[in-house]
Structure 1
Amino acid sequence: MRFGLFVPQGWRHDLVGIDPADQWSTMRDFAAHIDREGSAWESIWVYDHFHTVPKPSPTEATHEAWTLMAAFAASTSRVRLGQMCTCMGYRNPAYLAKAAATVDLVSGGRVEMGIGGGWYEHEWRAYGYGFPGVPDRLGALREGVEIMHQAWTTGSATLDGTYFQVDGAIVQPQPLQQGGIPIWVAGGGEKVTLKIAAEYASYTNFHGSPEEFSHKSEVLRGHTERLGRDFDSIVRSANFNTVIGESEADVARRLDAIEARVAPFLGPEVTARFMADYHAPTALVGTPAQAIAQLADMRERGLGYAIHYFPEAAYDRSGVELFEREVVPALG
């Protein structure tokens, strides 16, 4: 199993209390810690969002994903760099292909392209993108992935589509990576999203219960078989909200600290919703032994890549280090 983790960027209220002038150095230093020689982490990730969750805050930061991609490309040297996931509706795909190719060049060929249809209605409307229905968002996703695939494999893209029209859009220089930047198609929609993944993706990213993961894996297998593609050529990944402690008492202490940090910004009702993510069956919350058992089950179901979000990472790296020290060697 391979491992990545999210850099705190504000979207999930994970930079609260840190002066905006110090937030980049907080993110940069955390990335540098993960980038160090001998680290077990393969990749770092950011979210592509503009407004905080679980409710938009008019004062709290959410740092922009592709600006961070460029910054991390220049400030790290080993780890791969991804977004989970870039929203197709936020940028013209030909422009996105061009920008990503440049970041890939800056990074020395370390970029991953996470892409999806988007869902956060508040920021869609606030930024003037409207909020198309699901069929239109997924239709745009399909066309956008085709444009990026063309751009990275031929150096230009042409498509007279329903949602995007490009005519000989030149993307030079090409990404450094042979065959273009690896595409991660995020989402578990069985009729459209997983079909797009079966055609274009090097990786998928979907979550849910272990049983849901197994079911969607079989749906993906069916799409690949109909296309004549090797199912095992697509690495299946999932994201985990992760809080790891030396003991159950340590886990409880960490959860209490997370709740105390966000409560002044969210209020009691929203804080309860926020913390529910860490009590859900799909969360990875517990001791190293419990985490190993949960991930081992997912590995048996075909999970090849686990990407972890540690809500305390900007303030306390000990959970990340405990995971790296005890969980990764048991599964890596």
Structure 2
Amino acid sequence: RNPALLAKSLATIDHISNGRLEIGYGAGWMDEEYKAYGYQFPSMGTRLKMFEEGLHIMKAMFSEKRATYKGRHYSVEEAICNPKPVQQPHPPITIGGSGEKVMLKLVARFADRWNCPAGYESFEHKFNVLKSHCKDVGRDVNTIDISEQLLVCIGQSDAEVEAKWKAAQMLKPFVSTGIKGTPKQLIEELRKRVAMGITTFVIFFSDFAPPPTLELFAKEVMPAFA
């Protein structure tokens, strides 16, 4: 999407929602969607460069009276974005991804929240890479909210959990870093992740979240972290 127009749209949504907007921004990955909607799907390197230029432009549109930026893929000149977002200096920006050479460097420079995708080999390693990039750009890593994309399998009993977990094995790579258990067991698993430095979880459920699953998690797990 054109980042200047996107910034104006996001500023409007922030006003409509009275300052409740959170921005999730990425380089794109599902080529089927690009083709279905008529977007070109360039190489990963090109998409990452477009992504970086888009971040520059959006932040400038949110904060400057008139934004000017000249990039290889996107440019704006004296562009106006009024009114500015309700949230200042801008709505929080979440960047998901774990590429160590480019993506995590962009997280260090631009993100308010880093969402670590499921399927990682070592969260500790990825987090240390992010810390290193933050040090390189002079940023305190503690100013970045750390979140994890997390598959959760919940059941009232061990037998129910195991049956759901068996059915979830097709959900690769999510199952490799997912957690399973009764509410009490999940609370302990989540506390382990909090101890690793994760403060936010982007959860999807192994049974695709029917109301009883959501109610069980909301009533018996979430209060432990209120």
Q: TM-score, normalised by structure 1?
A: 0.63
1:116 aligns with 2:26: yes
* Distance in 2, Cα, partners of 1:225 & 1:186: 20
User: Quick one: distance in 1 between partners of 2:176 and 2:221?
Assistant: 19
What is the aligned partner in structure 2 of residue 67 from structure 1?
none
Deviation at 1:201, TM superposition (A): 0.9
Q: Does 1:285 align with 2:150?
A: no
Q: Identify if the C-alpha distance between structure 1 residues 156 and 241 changes in structure 2 by more than 3 Å, giving closer, same or farther.
A: farther
Question: Aligned to 1:177, which of 80, 87, 93?
Answer: 87
Is structure 2 residue 85 aligned with structure 1 residue 190? no
- What secondary structure does 1:303 align onto? coil
1:294 shift after superposition = 2.1
Contact 1:113 1:181 in 2 (8 A): yes
User: Contact 1:210–1:301 at 8 Å: present in 2 too?
Assistant: no
1:125 matches 2:125: no
Deviation at 1:209? 5.7
C-alpha offsets along residues 3-41 of structure 1, whole Å, 9 cap, x if unaligned? xxxxxxxxxxxxxxxxxxxxxxxxxxxxxxxxxxxxxxx
- Offset of residue 217 of structure 1: 0.8
2:21 aligns to what SS in structure 1?
coil
Q: Does the 8 Å CA contact 1:277/1:283 hold for their aligned counterparts? A: no
**Aligned partners of 2:119 and 2:173 also within 8 Å:** no
Match of 2:214 among 320, 323, 328: 320
TM-superposition CA deviations, 1:69-96 (whole Å, max 9, x none): xxxxxxxxxxxxxxxxxxxxxx101111
Q: Deviations over 1:197-216 (max 9, x none)?
A: 11111100113467621111
- Which one of 145, 166, 187 corresponds to residue 76 of structure 2? 166
- 1:104 equivalenced with 2:14 (yes/no): yes
Q: Any conservation in 2 of the 1:278–1:285 contact (CA below 8 Å)?
A: no
* SS across alignment from 1:168: strand
Name the residue aligned to 1:305: 200
Compute the displacement of 1:132 (Å).
Answer: 1.1
Aligned residues: 225
Greater RCO, CA 8 A, separation 6+: 1
* Whole-Å separation in 1 of the counterparts to 2:225 and 2:122: 22
**Compared CA separation, residues 290 and 174, structure 1 to 2 (3 A):** same
Q: 2-side partners of 1:255 and 1:278: how far apart?
A: 14
Q: What CA RMSD, in Å, does the superposition of the two structures yield over aligned residues?
A: 2.2
Aligned-residue identity in percent = 40
Kept in 2: contact 1:207–1:213 (CA 8 A): no
Q: Provide the TM-score with structure 2 as the length reference.
A: 0.90
Displacement of 1:134 in angstroms is: 1.2
Q: Distance in 2 between matches of 1:278 and 1:286?
A: 19
Which 10-residue stretch deviates more, 135-144 or 157-166? 157-166
Deviation string for 1:136-176 (max 9, x for gaps)? Answer: 11101100011111111114422110111111221111110
Equivalent residue number for residue 220 of structure 1: 130
Distance 1:209 1:124 in 2: 24
Correspondence list, 1:130-149, <5 A = 130-149=40-59
Secondary structure at 1:102 match in 2: helix
